[in-house]
Amino acid sequence: MDPRLNIINKRLENIKRVIAVSGGKGGIGKSQTAAALAQYLSMQNYRVGLLDLDFCGPSSHLILGIDDVFPEEDMGILPPLVGGIHFMSITFFSGGQPAPLRGGEISNAIIEILAITRWGPLDFLIIDMPPGTGDPTLDVIRLMERVEFLLVTTPSRVAQEVMKKELSVLRELHIPVIGVLENMKIKNNSPTEEVLAGLQVPFLGSIDFDEDLEDALGNTDKLLATGFVKQLGQILAHSQMIS
């Protein structure tokens, strides 16, 4: 009997909303969105946590320039507070080196992190998800009772097809979907909006391809000034997502 499973939702009980930023494909801006969402919410004076569950390609710490901090131990582990965000990632334990894990072990590591991390009271816990609808996604759904999903896609049909598959899995499992964000828009049209119209899933808006983003990575002040964060902020301000 795995005792850890019985403590996970207790660890999350003082968190108002748990939002998993997902979207089937890799490289579409899930991590970027999760980090910017956490930053934006923290700027609005919400209490925010950010959990990077992409064990094979942890990125949140790189985007936010988090290094030189480590969780404190106090009847569990306490996520360090960095730039107003309570942050947890496997990178604290793998020390920037690869962690080549198979599916079942990824599950086990996710369960361990969820069981021992003491978040304290939060308005939002944002989860940076790995690509795909494999073990981590199914685990988040299985283990975190109140999770909601925010999906990211690009305008490419290749990304949209994968996003639609994830939507259909989430729908079948009755998991709330806040909506879909279209990222890296280059042309004027927003194919995502059309795709979603038939599916009764909210289209949140589009974010343009931002040429200046790369130079801002690792620097929270620069990030806040990017078009990416500004556009995401506008989308969030006009949506009912945060209320």
Partner 1 sequence: MHEWALAESIIVTIMKEYEKEKLSKVFKVTVKIGELQSIELDIFNFALENMIELYKPPVDLNNICLEIDRCILKCKVCDNHWNYRDTPKKLEEDEKEAIHFIPEVAHTYMRCTQCGSPDFEILQGRGVWIDSIEGEK
Ligand X SMILES: Nc1ncnc2c1ncn2[C@@H]1O[C@H](COP(=O)(O)OP(=O)(O)O)[C@@H](O)[C@H]1O
Is residue 74 a contact residue for partner 1 (CB under 8 A)? yes
Is residue 61 a contact residue for Mg ion (CB under 5 A)? no
Distance from C-alpha of 229 to C-alpha of 227, rounded to nearest angstrom: 6
104, amino acid identity: G
Selected from 41, 106, 195, 235, the binder of partner 1 by CB under 8 A is: 106
Give the N- to C-terminal CA distance of the chain in Å, as an integer. Answer: 39
Would you call 66 helix, strand, or coil by DSSP?
coil
Is residue 216 a contact residue for ligand X (CB under 6 A)? no
Is residue 52 a contact residue for ligand X (CB under 6 A)? no
Is residue 30 a contact residue for Mg ion (CB under 5 A)? yes
Distance from C-alpha of 67 to C-alpha of 71, rounded to nearest angstrom: 11
What, of ligand X, partner 1, Mg ion, none, does residue 10 touch, CB below 5 to 8 Å by kind?
partner 1
Contact of 168 with 134, CB cutoff 8 Å = no
Nearest distance, CB of residue 35 and ligand X, angstroms: 8
Is residue 29 a contact residue for ligand X (CB under 6 A)? yes
Identify how many contiguous H helices and E strands the chain contains and give both numbers.
Answer: 11, 10
**Angle at CA 213, nearest 5°, toward 209 and 216?**
170
| Residue 86, both tokens | 């309570």
Q: Which is nearer to Mg ion, 31 or 206 (CB)?
A: 31
What, of ligand X, partner 1, Mg ion, none, does residue 118 touch, CB below 5 to 8 Å by kind?
partner 1
Q: Cα 215 to chain center, whole Å?
A: 22
Neighbours of 14 (CB within 10 A): 12
Interface region with ligand X, contact rule CB under 6 A, candidates 22-30, 66-74, 93-101, 102-110: 22-30
Selected from 62, 77, 169, 242, the binder of partner 1 by CB under 8 A is: 77
Residues that bind ligand X (CB under 6 A): 26-32, 59, 183-184, 207, 209-210, 213, 217, 228
Residues that bind partner 1 (CB under 8 A): 1-4, 6-7, 10, 73-77, 90, 92-95, 97-102, 105-106, 108-109, 112-113, 115-116, 118
